[in-house]
Amino acid sequence: MPLFIHVLHYIISHLLCTKVLIPCLEMHKEAEDDYAHLSSLLQEFTSIPNIDKAWLFSSPGLHLQGMFAVSQSDLLTNTRRTSIMSCNILKERNSSVNFLWAPFPIEMSGVSVIVPSPSGSKLLVIRNPENEAACCFQIWSSSRMEKEFHIPQSLHGSVYNDGWFEGVSWNMNETCVAYVAEGPSPAKLTFNGLGGYKIDGCADKDSGYWKCQGDWEEDWGETYAGKRQPALFVIDINSGEVQEVKGIDKSLSIGQVVWAPFTEGSEQYLVFVGWSSKPRKLGIKYCSNRPCGLYAVRLRALHHDSKSNEPVLQSTEEFHVLNLTQTISSAFFPRFSPDGKFLVFLSARSAVDSGVHNATNSLHRIDWLTNGKPFQSSKIDDIIPVVMCAEDGCFPGLYCTTIHSNPWLSDNCTMIISSIWHSSEVLLSVNLLSGEIVHISPVDPIFSWNLLTLDGNNIVAISSSPVDFAQLRYGKAIKKETNNTTWSWSNISSPIFRCSDKVRSLLSSLQSCILRISVKDAHVGQTKGATKPFEAIFVSSKTNTKIEFDPLIVILHGGPQDVSLSYFSKYLAFLSTVGYSLLIVNYRGSLGFGEEALQSLPGNVGSQDVNDVLSAIDHVINLGLASPSKITVMGISHGGFLTTQLIGQAPDKFVAAAAINPVCNLALMIGTTDIPDWCYVEACGTTARNCFTEPPSADDLTLLYNKSPISHVSKVKAPTLFLLGAQDVRVPMYDGLQYARALKEKGVDVKIIMFQNDVHALKRPQSDLESFLNIGVWFNKYCIYGASESRDFLKT
């Protein structure tokens, strides 16, 4: 054998031992160490609580009191643990405000809904049932539980507490509560072993009998699978009598009920939102483009209790239900002004009319008559119209995820709203008469703000940034001689957001900013809004230098009509504290930048959004903030669509990827998803929003396939982690599995984690922790330990 063959054999053997085999063994050990180290740190982040709601109460002769609903992940039970933290609020003569907190929170085990009465003298606590048990309603006073009622499944199922259909409302006399719950279980045929049958003649567990499945009932898709139609009920809290409100078309799903104001002797009405299920129900979670309207229904006259002389609900009759918003395609979150003169509501008519699942909101007003009697032809006044394209620095349009149940200042015509403004959430004051909009939270785009509750004309809010924990803030309006109002904000000391010294130290080493990025592919024919710069949030170590760069994770939100906001995320903060810079891109089509920019994306997915992300990456590289050799990418839903598009269209740019319930093949998804209309709108444009009513043609399927990441799968090189929810009906798991299997067949490193009991958002505590733990380990493997280099060497 020639000498050079011996030498070559020796060199190859030496390289395999020293450069490949040994590192492979080391990487296995490093992966184990990663899991141990990262899981310990991640649990320190996940243990930080959230404040979900807050209420303030005033009592004669006492200081103001506060009650805060706090939730925290419970990993062992895979649920969120809810507790109540109480405080006394002292207002000093020097205008300072002190919150004196109770030493310990009180856990509210099994509680689904908490709603104080208007006066604050009563507290309604609702505990939803497990399985076929009864729903429990408790009425509490300041010292004890006064009443407890158990509502059987024959009357209704669980009370909705989802933030969308959810509606629980006390009447002003505090004698009745209106609420939305699942309708009663439909009767089913029951069979015995001898061939006989009857209708609902036995319990589910009775031996010798079994119940048939019954007719399949269509639901509202993602997170509502198996839930029955939401219906409207009223409970008399003195007697416990429950009545379903009659006269409502059974095709309407009910939500967001409120009592209309009334005076003694006048008729009493409930106002609610109704979504029609005709001709079929489509997925409604994260989809404000489902047509809906405000309705009013009259209740039968109330009689007076002979002992207390308090008005009590007698029953409901079949009165004609009035549609208050016939002239507009969307109306939700109804709120009455404290003086009863105005009914205010949000509208997503831009989303409904165009077909995109979220869009710019508008705000509207109906003048309510003093006799409390509504009219079907009520005039609807625009308070805030849809903003198409705002000038730089100006109000970009209204983007609300909710309206507080009591958002009013004392003038009865000014409301406080949380709204998205580019990459931040801000607080706005809105005057219903003049339409004046004032940005009242401090103008610092790296912080986001959210309204918790109001204290008269003062505000309790939360603010945070990507590198700053949530902080309770107290805002006071200060009027100047020019009649202009400014707001003074102070920090509220609170034990709620305390964390370990280790986590606090890690966060103190980070910095964040918002980058404006110019559009590269602007062309003639585009709207002005479609050519304006988009934004990205950049998070990095303060010690990141142009000599030694931290690896970069590009993070992409779903939707695509959604947005990543500059608030504190425990999971993203965790990734940034373990050695990664974050580039969180709000590509054109995101909420918060005007309707023209948003509407530029439908029909252009897979190209315009991909180009925006690549431009953002080039931008931070050109600024000297990141290295082109250590870039990873991750995203959920449409963010997963973008992730898998990018690793196919720019295969040499990314060293690793993570896709969470990704849209990989629209041609496959359209036949299985709860939102087939979304597939057509995003791939073909808004003119195709009604195409889903017909089976897709061969041409449709070809177009959908060509718009999908699966069409680029043959070019992918980046090792990819897939995190999939087995109960996902929005992007069913087979979409991601098909793509992952195709990568495996061509030799790309793939890892799949299937969460058997989770849905599209993967929001259960164990899913959250396992997802981000594996993302950290996966990216470490290919960014820090150089496993991709070893893999490439083995292939050669």
Instruction: Please identify which of the residues 566, 637, 767, 771 carries the catalytic annotation.
Output: 637
Q: Do 52 and 70 touch, CB atoms closer than 8 A?
A: yes
Could you please report the per-residue DSSP string of 213-259?
A: --------STT-TTPPPEEEEEEETTT--EEEPPS--TTEEEEEEEE
- 649: tokens are 């269209």
Q: Which of 85, 82, 83, 81 is nearest to 103 (CA)?
A: 85
At 311, the amino acid letter reads P
Identify the three-state secondary structure at position 646: helix
Residue 480, judged by CB atoms within 10 A of its CB (0-12, 13-18, 19+), counts as exposed
Cis, peptide link before residue 279, omega less than 30° from 0: yes
Q: Does residue 768 have an active-site annotation?
A: no
**Alpha-carbon separation of residue 261 from 269, 335, 755 (angstroms):** 8, 11, 47
Q: Do 772 and 574 touch, CB atoms closer than 8 A?
A: yes
- For residue 72, report the phi and psi dihedrals to the nearest 5 degrees: -150, 145
Q: Does residue 550 have an active-site annotation?
A: no
Instruction: Measure the CA–CA gap between 70 and 51, rounded to whole angstroms.
Output: 5
What is the residue whose two structure tokens read 């997802």? 771
Instruction: Please identify which of the residues 760, 767, 768, 771 carries the catalytic annotation.
Output: 760
Instruction: Measure the CA–CA gap between 614 and 618, rounded to whole angstroms.
Output: 6
At 305, the amino acid letter reads D
Instruction: Please identify which of the residues 728, 735, 749, 768 carries the catalytic annotation.
Output: 728
Query: Residue 460, CB half-sphere, CA atoms under 13 Å: how many?
Result: 25
Q: Do 652 and 662 touch, CB atoms closer than 8 A?
A: no
Q: Does residue 760 have an active-site annotation?
A: yes
Could you please report the per-residue DSSP string of 702-767?
A: HHHHHTSGGGGGGG--S-EEEEEETT-SSS-HHHHHHHHHHHHHTT--EEEEEETT--TT--SHHH
SS3 string, 152-180, reads: CCCCCCCECCCCCCCCEEECCCCCEEEEE
Identify the three-state secondary structure at position 30: helix
Positive or negative CA dihedral for 23, 24, 26, 32? positive
**Which residues form the catalytic set?**
637, 728, 760
